[in-house]
Amino acid sequence: MKKPYIVCHMVQSIDGRIDCAMVDKISGDEYYDTLKTYKAPSYLNGRVTMEHYWAEKKKFQPKNDAPAAKSSVFVAEDAPSYVFSCETVGSLMWKSNRVDNLPLVCIVSERTTQEYLDYLKAKKISYICTGKKSISLKKAMEIAATEFGVKRLAVLGGGVINGAFVKEGLVDEYSILLAPGIDGRKGRVASFDGLLDVKRNPYPLTLTGCKKLANGVVWLKYRVAKP
């Protein structure tokens, strides 16, 4: 399978929580400084993160609920790098077809309505529609490599999308910034959440790097452990 080289890059408290307002209080610019070292010009976020930072507050309301029910790809713009947004059923609305001044690509499942795909196309927003019940991340990453030319991709959360990439075995390298603080609040999202297979635990990793940064942040690097 052809796919980009994928780095999952996260900053978290020592109990694994990733609430942005919380980690901002216990870290500085280390997250972005270390991300630059990976030279991964394209990045991907899940629905919650994109909704919080980039999407419009209102949701898309289709007049016709008929699903797309087939795999399809629309490349609105050929570019050296992209921002990918993942959500199983398309609902996010966008002011622009760009995020961080990069072309936006929406990854959705075939449960998404055709009307939503038409909306994206009218906004000149690229999309990848694949997977019957949920997004087929493996197929989506293959399309990202073959149709969009993505060679290196940073997966930047949230916890549910990170967990989905872990489950599918798509991550080549894990980059974790451990900030000196404890969240401790019950029910807060952690770096890797949403894995439903309770029998599959844990996912072993091999430590490849450990470095102390400013503000007491520790940078940990891992790869998947060989069997």
User: Who has greater pLDDT, 200 or 83?
Assistant: 83
Q: What is the pLDDT of residue 111?
A: 97
- Per the CB < 8 A criterion, the answer to whether 166 and 135 are in contact is no
Taking the mean position of all CA atoms in its chain, how far away is CA 65? 26
Rounded distance between C-alpha atoms, residue 216 and residue 24, angstroms: 13
For residue 177, the surrounding DSSP H or E stretch is: strand 173-178
Coil, strand or helix: which one is 123? coil
- Residue 118: domain span: 5-224
Strand (E) or helix (H) holding 38: none
58 DSSP β-pair partners: none
The letter for the amino acid at 39 is K
| DSSP-H helix ranges across 86-152 | 114-122, 137-146
Which CATH number characterizes residue 19's domain?
A: 3.40.430.10
pLDDT tens, position by position, 67-126: 999 999 999 999 999 999 999 999 999 999 999 999 999 999 999 999 999 999 999 999
pLDDT level of residue 131 (50, 70, 90 thresholds): very high
pLDDT at 200 over 90: no
pLDDT by residue (tens digit) across 9-57? 999 999 999 999 999 999 999 999 999 999 999 999 999 999 989 999 9
Predicted model pTM: 0.95
> What is the number of domains present in the chain?
1
Q: Sorting pLDDT into bands at 50, 70 and 90, what band is 194?
A: confident
β-pair partners for 102: 99
What is the amino acid identity at position 157? G
pLDDT for the residue numbered 154? 98
